Amino acid sequence: MSNLKRPAEEAFDAEEGLSPSSKKSRIDDYDKSLTPASAIANAAETREGSNEEKVEQTNGGNNSNEVKDEEDDDLEAGEEVEVKAPIRQAAPTEGYDDLYLDTIDRNVLDFDFEKLCSISLSNINVYACLVCGKYFQGRGPKSHAYFHALDEGHHVYINMSTQKVYVLPEGYEVKSKSLDDIKYVSDPRYTRQEVLDLDRKPHVSRTLLGKEYVPGFVGMNNIKENDYLNVIVQALSHVSPLRNFFLLEDFSNAPELVKRTSILFRKIWNPRAFKSHVSPHELLQEISLRSNKKFTLTQQSDPVEFLSWFLNHLHLGLGGSKTKPHSSVIQHIFQGKLKVESQAITARADQVHDRLRFEEAADVQSSVSRFLLLTLDLPPAPLFQDEQERNIIPQVPLTTILAKYNGVTAQELNAQRKRYRLQHPLPPFLVFHIKRFSKNKFVSERNPTIVTFDARNLDVSPYVEPDPNSHQHGEPIWYDLVANVVHEAVRNKEDVADSVGEERKTWKVQLRDKATDEWVVAQDLFVDKVRSELLYLSESYLQIWERRREPLPGKGKGKA
């Protein structure tokens, strides 16, 4: 029987012109022992072991092919592109401009959270996957976004800084108009005319699921115990000049606190949002950092303390001065002047009842201070119960507790008597803090007194020292309520039957829609309408009043 086996010496030389030397591991001899064609075949076999060491990582912002290894100068450029690097494109293949765009899931996109890579926790060069909504750093061949595209088959990513959209692993930019809604939700921008119309024309928008919402009156996520921040942000976002400033100005080079405040304001007023609520997570993280964790999302804080901290740090972040008045938009809106007269307490022996009073004018020390908010003191709550053994909840008019600033009513503090009077010019917005909580060494107490008020027509002229150059004496100075932060005590479930169980503080805010002249109450994610006649029934804690520029039409002298 004839031998059908091929002679060993003819094994490889007869085919393809290859020899066993092609399997050498040393690449230094490529040009000596291999033809270009054999080099390509051999590199394909050994790329797992040696190719990764010879290819440098491409920069995340570079769309060109991989950089040629300096130690591999003998290989031709065309061979290196074909063998060593995955294909990278500067533009989509002709006819495939919308490739992968059908995989985008808008329902999972939420750009409210802090822009941190979910793998490295870095905030540099962050991209959001438009398929699953997760954040990843970079888009180069060794980046987290690149590996996510290969592992999960998610191919469309948006740069959170530039709002440019890319397809990975190819690396080219997508410029489809169908992505404009995603870019707008990620970073809403407004024209001056759109901002002017916010308070003039009613707006009703719809979410992706068809739910109606009114821009500016949306719920805010309470991550754990951050409702104290939610009500302050909601209230400030309805102070028109402050809102307009944060909606229109460019803060790309501003401090992070200012930048994140602007982004949150713009999202609150977004008319094309995917959802009817926003999350303050990104702003909260920055506030927690800047306040040395005094204000966090896990621990309840006082809204007035937070407001004071927030306004002062925004003032400094916007370039305001610590000593020069009206050096930022914050002070232009809220800062006013207050005249303070003080005198040491003395008992006059020549008085029958030894009563304490202000001495002659020569003994009174007078000074002028500046304020961002005014504190109003409630009368002491009653200690006794009524005939039916129920606690009486007293009521007091707002004008009564404002009498503290009429320049006549005096208060005793630290062996001194003081009296206060507002000075012209009054700020465009007045912020009142109704002091409900007091602490001593033993216990913290809450005053449940209800403050009654009309949301319109607060005349503050009785509390302002006359100045002919600023205001005609006797003419009213009208202020209208913009926002009312109210306190609500909630007893823990296990303490419902216990009348002395521990109470938990919760906060909500009542907001006026200037376009419809209706009122809305917002408590975290819940937003509902409320009648203006019922606003005062809650425990008001913080109020923002806006000075009326001109009388209401047909009302005469601004009366409503």
Query: DSSP readout, 415-472?
Result: TEEEEEEEESSPPSEEEEEEE-EEE-SS-EEE--PEEE--SS-EE-GGGB---TTTS-
Secondary structure (3-state) at 42: helix
Q: Choose among 510, 488, 492, 514: nearest CA to 502.
A: 492
Specify the pTM: 0.78
Query: Tokens standing for 537?
Result: 């029934």
More confident residue, 545 or 142: 545
Q: What per-residue confidence (pLDDT) applies to 118?
A: 92
Q: Are 135 and 127 a contacting pair, CB within 8 Å?
A: yes
Q: What is the pLDDT of residues 394-444, one digit of tens each?
A: 899 999 999 999 988 888 877 788 899 999 999 999 999 999 998 877 777
pLDDT in tens, 103-152: 999 999 989 888 999 999 998 999 999 999 999 999 888 899 999 999 99
pLDDT at 388 over 50: yes
**Domains and their CATH numbers in the chain:** 22-84 (no CATH), 101-185 (3.30.40.10), 200-304 (no CATH), 336-371+373-547 (3.90.70.10)
Q: Which residue has the higher pLDDT, 188 or 498?
A: 188
Nearest-10 crossing angle of helices 256-268, 281-290: 150
pLDDT exceeds 70 at position 276? yes
Task: Report residue 68's pLDDT band, with 50, 70 and 90 as the boundaries.
Answer: very low
Q: Which pLDDT value is given to residue 377?
A: 93
Range scoring the smallest mean pLDDT among 201-215, 353-367, 379-393: 353-367
| Residue bearing the bigger pLDDT, 63 or 133 | 133
Cis check: omega of the bond before 427, within 30 degrees of 0: no
What letter would DSSP give residue 248? H
Selection from 174, 182, 61, 60 nearest residue 130 by Cα: 182
At 263, the amino acid letter reads I
| pLDDT tens string 325-338 | 889 999 999 999 99
Contact 334, 427 (CB under 8 A): yes
- As a whole-number percent, the residues of the chain with pLDDT over 90 amount to 52
Q: What is the mean pLDDT of the chain?
A: 79
The pLDDT confidence band at residue 512, using thresholds 50, 70 and 90, is very high
- pLDDT in the model for residue 394: 86
Could you give the angle at which helices 227-236 and 303-317 cross, rounded to 10 degrees? Answer: 50
**pLDDT on residue 373:** 94
Average the pLDDT over 378-388 and give the result: 70
Q: What stretch of H or E contains 340?
A: strand 336-344
pLDDT for the residue numbered 18: 41
Dig out the tokens for 518 from the structure: 């209706």
Report the range of poorest mean pLDDT among 90-99, 129-138, 395-404, 465-474. Answer: 90-99
- Helix and strand numbers, DSSP H then E, in the chain: 13, 25
The residue type at 404: K
Q: Please tell me the predicted confidence (pLDDT) of residue 560.
A: 36
| Lowest model confidence (mean pLDDT) among 146-155, 231-240, 250-259, 528-537 | 528-537
Tokens 């410029």: give the residue: 175
Average pLDDT over residues 190-194: 94
Provide mean pLDDT across the span 355-374: 74
Q: Which residues pair with 343 in a beta bridge?
A: 417
pLDDT band at 510 (very low <50, low <70, confident <90, very high): very high
Contact 422, 365 (CB under 8 A): no
Q: Residue 429 carries which side chain, given as an amino acid letter? A: F
Query: H helices within 140-239, ranges in order?
Result: 144-152, 180-186, 192-196, 227-236
- What length is written for the chain? 560
Distance CA 543, CA 431 (A): 6
**Out of 78-92, 122-136, 365-379, 406-420, which region has the weakest mean confidence (pLDDT)?**
78-92
pLDDT value, residue 329: 95
Confidence of residue 92 (pLDDT cuts 50, 70, 90): low
Question: Looking at residue 353, what DSSP letter applies?
Answer: T
Residue predicted with more confidence, 536 or 30 = 536
Report how far apart, in Å, the C-alpha atoms of 257 and of each of 237, 288, 364, 539 are. Answer: 15, 11, 43, 31
Does residue 23 surpass a pLDDT of 80?
no
| Bigger pLDDT: 558 vs 177 | 177
Identity of the amino acid at 485: V
pLDDT attached to residue 154: 93
Q: Comparing C-alpha atoms, which of 195, 171, 166, 165 is closest to residue 183?
A: 165
- Residue 307 is predicted with a pLDDT of 97
Query: Which of 60-64, 280-284, 443-447 is the most confident on average?
Result: 280-284
Provide the 3-class DSSP secondary structure of residue 365: strand
Residues with Cβ within 8 Å of 37's Cβ and at least 6 positions away in sequence, in order, are: none
Q: Which residue has the tokens 């959170």?
A: 160
Tokens of 403: 């009498």
Q: What are the φ/ψ torsions at residue 316 (nearest 5 degrees)?
A: -70, -40
- Is residue 479 pLDDT above 50, yes or no? yes
Is the C-alpha dihedral spanning 141, 143, 147, 148 positive or negative?
negative
